[in-house]
Structure 1
Amino acid sequence: MKLASLIDNLEYNENRPAIQVLIDTDSGKEIRITFKEGQVMKEHKTPYPIVVEIFEGAIDFGVNGTIHNLKKGDLVALEGGVPHDLKALKTSTVRLSLNKADSATRVEGVAENS
């Protein structure tokens, strides 16, 4: 059994979203992304399907040029290869569920280049 918390030990970066792997199992990864208001993750694609949960706050979630205003409790499932971007409308915590074959390092690279 593995335990993690979406609310304990929150960390934020000054200029870009902060990425933290919470759980890494044989089947997938659960990642917490914390945003300060106004921070973005520029348009990018993932090679595998993902699920994004807005755990706290509000995010503009762009998919193929269409903006979806997501709020606390909303979930989005995307297939691999779909261009998407995120912008925090206020301080937010996002849970990202990754396929085991995907890499947290890739997600960190997206945040660093945003």
Structure 2
Amino acid sequence: MITSSLTANLTNKKEKPAITLLMETDTSKEIRIVFQKSQEMKEHSTPKPIVIEIFEGEIKFGIHKEELHLKKGDLIALEASVPHNLLCIEDAIVRLTIAKTAAISRVNKIVS
């Protein structure tokens, strides 16, 4: 059994979103991304499918030249290689589920 919390030990960074690996299972990695208003993740794509949950706050999620307004409780799943970007509208906690074989260092590079 593995346990973790999306709200314990929150960290904020003024210059970029804060990335924390919450847990790793046999099949996935659960990552917390803490955004402050106006922080963003520029357009990128992933080598494996992902699932994003807006746990708290609001973001604009750009995909296929569309902009989705995602808020607390919303989920979105993307296949591999789909370009997307995120812009924080209201301070947010985002849960990102990636494949176990995906590197968290890649997520850190996107927010640098």
TM-score by length of 2: 0.98
Q: What is the letter of the counterpart of residue 102 of structure 1?
A: A
Which structure has more strand as a fraction of its residues? 2
Identity %: 48
Aligned twin of 2:110: 110
Aligned twin of 2:60: 60
Q: What is the letter of the counterpart of residue 68 of structure 1?
A: L
Give the Å deviation of 1:100: 1.1
Structure 2 residue runs of 5 or longer lacking an equivalent are none
Aligned twin of 1:37: 37
Structure 2 residue matching 1:90: 3-state secondary structure: strand
Cα RMSD between the aligned structures? 0.6
Aligned twin of 2:4: 4
Counterpart CA distance in 2 for 1:21 and 1:58 is 21
Counterpart CA distance in 1 for 2:97 and 2:29 is 6
Counterpart CA distance in 1 for 2:27 and 2:90 is 32
Counterpart CA distance in 2 for 1:53 and 1:79 is 15
Q: What is the letter of the counterpart of residue 77 of structure 1?
A: A
Give the Å deviation of 1:83: 0.2
Structure 2 residue matching 1:57: 3-state secondary structure: strand
Does 2:89 align with 1:95?
Answer: no
Q: What is the letter of the counterpart of residue 107 of structure 2?
A: V
Runs ≥4 residues deviating over 4 A: none
Structure 1 residue runs of 5 or longer lacking an equivalent are none
Counterpart CA distance in 2 for 1:104 and 1:16 is 16
Aligned positions, number: 112
Aligned twin of 1:22: 22
